[in-house]
Structure 1
Amino acid sequence: MFDAAVDASLPKPQFYEELLSMSEGLLSMSRDMIVNLSQVSALLYNALPELNWAGFYLVSAPEMLKLAPFQGKVACVDIPFSKGVCGAAARSGVTQCIADVHEFPGHIACDAASRSELVVPLFIDGHVIGVLDLDSPHPGRFDLEDVAGIEALCQQLVSATDWHWQFSTQA
């Protein structure tokens, strides 16, 4: 059994060093995309305090994201690049750290309890292939240290994974 406990009282840089070490251990067990996305979403959901959702959306067609492995309540299945925080991250290729999602134009409320959101795009060869989405019921939950830590984890994930996702024209 793998224990995803990280001491949340650590300063954030140390917290993320430990989280990256745990992630590296998990990712060393498999290069399979579904396995790795599932393991990382479970790790984040259980290790990061004050989350109500942690998961992935993958590019499924031009300008469209589709739900992938996650932890939390049921979620939106398809998100166009033109909508929401996930769409903005995929469209721009820039991490979105939103203190209050109710102030974000076009926010998609998959879970009405979510108040802040951190969305990090995933890249292969300079192309966005998906996003990692973290939601919290607390406004202002995420800061620049969270951004740096989660971006590093996403780079680690992309490097450790054999990506076999294919565009799908079916819902």
Structure 2
Amino acid sequence: MFDFTPDADLPKPELYRQLVDACDAITGGEPDAVANMANVAALMAEFLPALNWAGFYRLVGGELVLGPFVGRPACIRIPLGQGVCGTAAGDAQTQLVEDVHAFPGHIACDAVSRSELVVPVIRGGQVVAVIDLDSPDLARFDAQDAAGIERLADLLADRI
């Protein structure tokens, strides 16, 4: 049994260190990608405040397909280059969006979302998935959040 209880008062770098450590502990040695994504989505939702969606989109056949997540029902398929997730996957670049309604081509899967952080998971130089975090708060995410989720994406590259 795993019991990861984050301290809400931790500085962000330490919170992300603990999140990555928890994800390492729960995914280490587990070969099933879906199980690993499901547990990591649950951990992100537990560790990170002010989220309304946390999860994955997998790159399948040239488009993003919904993977395990915590939150309200979501868009199932996203073309590369469209929306925040499709842009992150298409460009292989983290997307930190303070106001999703100002993002050109934003795909509104949940009207409550106001800011978003999407980080590509890259294996062997190829995007295999993206980690997607949504918040109902404007400008919820900053460079420390991006750096923390990028470390998580690096850890998961060979586990999902």
TM-score normalised by the shorter chain: which range applies?
Answer: over 0.9
- TM-score normalised by the chain length of structure 2: 0.96
* 8 A Cα contact 2:119 2:131, kept in partner: yes
What's the secondary structure of 2:8's corresponding residue?
coil
Aligned position for 1:58: 58
| Cα RMSD, aligned residues only | 1.1
Deviations 1:106-146 (A, max 9, x none): 00110000000000001111011111100000001000000
Amino acid at match of 2:77: D
Deviations 1:12-37 (A, max 9, x none): 11111111111111112512101101
Aligned position for 1:81: 80
Aligned position for 2:134: 135
What's the secondary structure of 2:133's corresponding residue?
strand
What's the secondary structure of 1:57's corresponding residue?
strand
Aligned position for 2:70: 71
Q: Runs in 1 of length 4+ with deviation above 3 angstroms?
A: none
* 8 A Cα contact 2:81 2:89, kept in partner: no
Instruction: Point out where structure 2 has 5 or more consecutive residues left out of the alignment.
Output: none
- Aligned mates of 1:25, 1:66 — CA distance in 2: 26
Instruction: Point out where structure 1 has 5 or more consecutive residues left out of the alignment.
Output: 164-171
Query: Are 1:46 and 2:56 an aligned pair?
Result: no
Amino acid at match of 1:9: D
- Aligned mates of 2:73, 2:32 — CA distance in 1: 23
Amino acid at match of 1:54: A
- Aligned mates of 1:46, 1:54 — CA distance in 2: 10
Aligned position for 2:104: 105
* 8 A Cα contact 2:75 2:109, kept in partner: yes
Q: Aligned pairs, how many?
A: 160
Aligned-pair distance for 1:45? 1.0
Amino acid at match of 1:127: Q
What's the secondary structure of 1:88's corresponding residue?
helix
Query: Are 1:7 and 2:13 an aligned pair?
Result: no
Q: Structure 1 vs Structure 2: percent identity of aligned residues?
A: 50
Aligned-pair distance for 1:97? 0.4
- Aligned mates of 2:24, 2:53 — CA distance in 1: 22
